Amino acid sequence: MTAQLTLISHHLCPYVQRAAIALSEKGVAFQRVHIDLADKPDWFLTISPLAKVPLLRVPQEEGEAVLFESSVICEYLEETAPGAKLHPSDPLTRARHRGWMEFGSSILSDLWLFETTQDTATLEIKGRALRSKFATVEAALGDGPYFSGADFSLVDAVFAPIFRYFDLFDCISDHGIFDGLSRVRAWRQALSARPSVVAAVTEDYPERLMAFLKRHDAALLKTGKIAA
């Protein structure tokens, strides 16, 4: 890769964060363009088949190629970029990792309702679903610090943005989602300190996420008080 890549982003999107983390871990220079998903520009709709972020604009000799879907972008980087490998070399282990990446996406589906619902009953239902899924993750983890041990992988890139939500959520109320999950807690802490994870969002991410919750009149905000 000689020409600089462009990652089309949204400040809060966890799927964008996956791609940003992978780019950073690979040591690939890239520029970032944030868009407003509530007011999508025409140029974005022209090049995004699903009208979603992330997109990766890849310069070519003539024009450019545009990749969409975070998993596709991450796999492309793994196949073409130098730097540390983010997938295991063993085919069976690699397939297993891809399965856990999909499991992470299923957690994000639950998280979407957990953070946006205005109904306290739905909030509790999704809280239980999240606790159950993280318990499943707990059983799959080893001694860490990362999902597969000492080596950072694309599974870590998927889960780091998931855990980031709870940096704010935990300041609102303790829903006990990680109670008794010592390995998940240690993994979360290790990921939060990883430079690529820290750099995957702008410094005002917590304020933007709080504003998002307020715009949705989220039931989550009514379950406790913001910590001082």
Confidence (pLDDT) at 178: 97
pLDDT band at 120 (very low <50, low <70, confident <90, very high): very high
Give the pLDDT confidence score for residue 224 in this predicted structure: 64
pLDDT computed for residue 32 by the predictor: 97
pLDDT digits (tens, 9 = 90+) for 75-87: 999 999 999 999 9
Average pLDDT over residues 126-154: 97
> Burial of 84 by CB count in 10 Å (0-12 exposed, 13-18 middle, 19+ buried)?
exposed
Nearest partner of 17 among 53, 51, 65, judged by Cα:
53
Nearest Cα to Cα of residue 98 among 21, 157, 17, 16: 157
Query: How far is CA 117 from its chain centroid?
Result: 20
Band (pLDDT 50/70/90 cuts) for residue 1 is low
Closest listed residue to residue 201, CA positions, set 34, 2, 27, 25: 34
Tens-place pLDDT, residues 82-111 = 999 999 999 999 999 999 999 999 999 999
What is the radius of gyration, based on Cα positions, of the chain? 18
Q: What percent of the chain has pLDDT over 90?
A: 93
Q: For the chain, give percent helix, strand, coil, nearest 5.
A: 55, 10, 35
Considering only residues 226 and 59, tell me which one the structure prediction assigns the higher pLDDT. 59
Does the pLDDT value for residue 228 go beyond 60? no
When pLDDT is cut at 50, 70 and 90, the band that residue 3 belongs to is: confident
Q: What is the pLDDT of residues 150-187, one digit of tens each?
A: 999 999 999 999 999 999 999 999 889 999 999 999 99
Q: Taking residues 29-50, report their average pLDDT.
A: 97
> Which tens digit of pLDDT belongs to each residue from 189-198?
999 999 999 9
